[in-house]
Amino acid sequence: MTKGSAASRNKAKGPPDGVRGGKNKLVAQNKKARHDYTIEDVFEAGMVLTGTEVKSLRQGRCSLTDAYGSVQDGEVYLLGAHIPEYTEGTWNNHAPRRARKLLLHKKEISELQVRTRESGLALVPLSLYFKDGRAKVEIALGRGRRSHDKRQVLAERDAQKEMRNALGRAIKQGRR
């Protein structure tokens, strides 16, 4: 490719998404949630944070392992998420496990309230990330799995992986 070709000019500038400095930066993921819950619906919500919380998140420090969502008085809160104190913070640092308000549309809040109350679904945070400089949390409606359901899902996943591998091997052997 020459220096001034059209292909080199149309190439995206900057790092890809998910990489530090890119458009989206992943801070924390709750991998256990996809194992413990059957995810039915996913919502993206903004978060109301203090300055030291944002600085701590930008350092990549957060844990969603014990976190859950709750709808109270027409507002959605993220409870149990651990954002450690900012190391450079002063006396006005934040509490690490405080309730954090989530920003959603009124329709989404009423849907979450009805579905969590009636059908026994739980609000589970899946990931926390920055999108265009703003902290977002991906929160899902999930139905809890029992231990035999988890084993069944793992067995199905292993079977699918084995089939993909066998198919790949068969295709490679057919080429030779």
Report the pLDDT averaged over residues 9-23: 45
Q: Which residues contact 55 (CB under 8 A, 6 or more apart)?
A: 86, 88, 89
Q: What is the pLDDT of residues 45-100, one digit of tens each?
A: 998 888 888 888 888 888 888 888 889 888 999 998 888 887 776 777 777 788 88
Distance in Å from the first CA to the final CA of the chain: 32
CB burial string 35-63: b at 16+ within 10 A, e below: ebbeeeeebbbebebbebbbbbbeeebbb
The confidence score (pLDDT) of residue 11 equals 41
Residue 107 has what pLDDT? 93
CA dist 23 → 38, 47, 166 (Å): 29, 18, 38
Q: Residue 43 has which token pair?
A: 């919502």
Q: Is 121 left (phi over 0), alpha (psi -120 to 50) or beta?
A: beta
Residue 28, exposed/middle/buried by CB under 10 A (0-12, 13-18, 19+)? Answer: buried
